[in-house]
Amino acid sequence: MTSVASGIARKKKVPLSAILLRLSSFLIMGVAVYWLGINFAHSPQEFAQVTINGLNNGLLYALIALGYTLVYGIIELINFAHGDLFMLTSVFSFAVLTELLGAQSPSGKNYALLLVVLLFTMAFGATLNVTIERLAYRRLRDAPKLAPLITAVGMSFVLQWIGLKWIGSVPVNVNTVLPSGKYHIGGVEIAYKTFAVFLITVPVLIILAFVVDKTRRGRAMRATAQDKDASRLMGIDVNKTISFTFAIAGAAAGAAGIMWAQTIGTVAYNLGFQLGLIAFTSAVLGGVGNLYGAVMGGLIIGLIQAYNDGLSIGPGQRWSQSMVFTILILLMVYRPGGLLGETAQEKV
Amino acid sequence: MARLNTPVMLKISDLTVGYGAITAVKGLSLEVREGEIVSVIGSNGAGKSTTLRTVSGLMKPKSGSIEFLGEKIDGIPGHEIVAKGICQSPEGRRIFPKMTVDENLDLGAYLRKDGAAVKEARERVLELFPRLRERINQKAGTMSGGEQQMLAVGRALMGNPKLLVLDEPSMGLAPVLVDLIFETIETIRKSGVTILLVEQNALAALRIADYAYVLESGNLKLEGDGSKLADDPAIAQAYLGG
């Protein structure tokens, strides 16, 4: 608004609104730090406990958020069906591990089965996601943006319907193979399940980040995300690269799906709506299109929910969603591109 | 300079290409022989870039054919054409702005598996454009237009092309850099790479060309030896600004 010619030795006039915006951001951060601080002082054990719970859920959100962000990054599509894909992978893992293989209690054999079915579930998620892209999105790649968006919404309903036919309308309990005990360190209890989530999701996240950042395929993905025609001129098979991206997104959702079923203990046909929304929010919070942003967003939302639900001085569980979205809205005001996102001008 | 007496490398016959209802190229026939520099000139909208996009498989022709080293290549996907030995530095440079110079060059050699030869190619490119060596770890999007152009040409060379296709390599560059780019094109040709060049800077393009084609609104208007066209008063009047 103020036409300040740069380089001229004249005092830059900063608009009042910018000062207020900056001050208010400090104020909000101050309140948040104060709130966490008094809770920490009140009971450090509780604080640590809640943090661990938050990270547990956050890691699962991060895996799903990865799928939104990868797909958006490469074809600028908000894949509304992704949450439901996650739901189907959790149903698949239940059908295979719990029902078909009958692994319903902790034992050495069942841990091994869990790892095997984890791989199968990831493969299932990858195959399903690649198929969805092939059937529903590829033909619309050059169509106006709204067309594939609507197809994605439609696909979401199709997947929900498949879930409904598969396990019915009532949430199903999953007898987990993970041990129910807890590990105690200094007054903090960490469930063995939580360890399992860390042990499985962290390596999966690291491997996926490695694939995107360091491998030839990953470089092709990043090139395709930036400029499809230029990528073709490099000899990159753009269709194949997009399929590969959907495969990675589906595999991550698969890992989240089986761990969800095993740690939360229920699967339901409408699981995808809620989780998809949270994961999509994570992706936006972190800066959609940015891999690390999605992971960060997922962890932050997991933590916000956990602090809000678990800390003794706080609004409590009823305010959980409101808190998450208040923070999302505030963040969007101050950083419209998300935490690690670039400013909007980049994408030409 | 005059047409070389070498075998035909690229043969475009009666090519028609369009976007929807608009026909951008109408029945164009053109030939590039091994070791030549062939220039295509013409004003904006003459169909030059469309022709090159079709050669590289980014667009499909409505009719006509393109043969490369005796093999029909029209209609096959772009990434397979690169494998056959045609690399393009496209109009508007189209470098990958969020990647470093280094990563951009690596992508130019995406299909190549021979590590040692790729290393050599990179060394040659960096010798050709020392500026790129200085900027090797810089994000390509933060470089000047001239540097980006060097990167686009260097990236295309990384693919070890038999035919290097250059679309407006001098566009938007300062006169000093334009001279440098044209000198470099001649250096590249001397190293054994055949070049198909599209330019708005008609005079410079004609001077270095063995053979040249003049397009006008999608039609071939004239063709002839580069130097002859450069001296043709009619051409001078129409394309060289008097």
Sorted by sequence, the CB contacts under 8 Å of residue B41 that are 6+ apart come out as: B48, B198, B199, B200, B202, B205, B206, B212, B213, B214, B215, B239
More confident residue, B236 or A193: A193
pLDDT in tens, A229-261: 999 999 999 999 999 999 999 999 999 999 999
**pLDDT tens figures, A165-186:** 999 999 999 999 998 888 888 8
Distance CA B151, CA B88 (A): 12
In tens, the pLDDT along A195-210 reads: 999 999 999 999 988 9
What is the value of pTM for the model shown? 0.89
Q: Cβ atoms within 10 A of the Cβ of A189, count?
A: 14
For tokens 């619309």, the residue is A140
- What the block records as the tokens of B107 is 């992508």
Token pair belonging to A3 = 């036409």
Q: Whose structure tokens read 């595999």?
A: A251
Tell whether the model's pLDDT for residue A6 goes beyond 50. no
pLDDT at A142 (0 to 100): 87
Give backbone dihedrals phi and psi of B240, rounded to 5 degrees, phi first: -105, 15
CA-based torsion, A86, A91, A94, A97: positive or negative: negative
Comparing CA positions, the residue from A279, A301, A281, A285 lying closest to residue A336 is A285
pLDDT at position A5 is: 47
Cβ(A152)–Cβ(A81) below 8 Å: yes
Tell me, what's the pLDDT at B241? 57
Q: Does B142 touch chain A (CB under 8 A)?
A: no
Is residue B93 within 8 A of residue B152, CB to CB? The reply is yes
The per-residue pLDDT for B105 is 96
Choose from B107, B139, B148 for mutation: most chain A CBs within 10 A. Answer: B107
- How confident is the model at residue A2, as a pLDDT? 42
CB-based contacts of B113, cutoff 8 Å, min separation 6:
none
Cα-trace Rg, chain B? 17
Q: Which range among A83-87, A153-157, B66-70, B235-239 shows the weakest confidence by mean pLDDT?
A: B235-239
- Which chain A residue is nearest to residue B161, measuring alpha carbons? A234
CA–CA distance, A240 with A220 (Å, rounded to integer): 10
Which residues make Cβ contacts (< 8 Å) with residue A256, sequence separation at least 6? A60, A63, A64, A86, A89, A90, A201
pLDDT, tens digit only, all 242 positions of chain B = 678 899 999 999 999 999 888 999 999 999 999 999 999 999 888 999 999 999 999 999 999 999 999 999 998 999 999 999 999 999 999 999 999 999 999 999 999 999 999 999 999 999 999 999 999 999 999 999 999 999 999 999 999 999 999 999 998 888 888 999 999 999 999 999 999 999 988 889 999 999 999 999 999 999 999 989 988 888 877 776 54
pLDDT of residue A153: 95
Largest CA distance in chain B: 50
Q: What is the pLDDT of residues A263-296, one digit of tens each?
A: 999 999 999 998 999 999 999 999 888 889 999 9
Tokens linked to B16? 């028609």
- Cα torsion B193, B196, B197, B203 to 10°: value is 90
Residue to test with chain A: of B19, B49, B52, B79, most A Cβ within 10 A: B79
Residue pairs spanning A and B at CB distance below 8 A: 66
Which long-range contacts does A332-339 make (Cβ < 8 Å, 24+ apart)? Answer: A332/A284, A333/A21, A334/A21, A334/A25, A337/A287, A338/A284, A338/A285, A338/A286, A338/A287, A338/A288, A338/A290, A338/A293, A338/A297, A339/A285, A339/A286, A339/A287, A339/A293, A339/A296, A339/A297, A339/A300
Cβ within 8 Å, pair B107-A219: yes
What does the H/E/C string look like for B186-225?
Answer: HHHHHCCCEEEEEECCHHHHHHHCCEEEEEECCEEEEEEE
Cα torsion A67, A259, A173, A99: sign: positive
Chain-chain contact of B82 with A346 (C-beta, under 8 angstroms): no
Burial (CB < 10 A; 0-12, 13-18, 19+), residue B226, is: buried
Which residues in chain B have their CB less than 8 angstroms from residue A343's CB? none
CB contact under 8 Å between A219 and B58, yes or no, is no
Are the beta carbons of A312 and A39 closer than 8 angstroms? yes
Whether the CB-CB separation of B8 and B38 falls below 8 Å is answered with no
Asked if residue A345 has pLDDT above 60, the reply is no
As a whole number, the mean pLDDT across chain B is: 93
Q: Which of B167, B159, B156, B217 is nearest to B54 (CA)?
A: B167
Determine the straight-line distance between the first and last CA of chain A, rounded to whole angstroms: 24
Residue that wins the pLDDT comparison between A119 and B227: A119
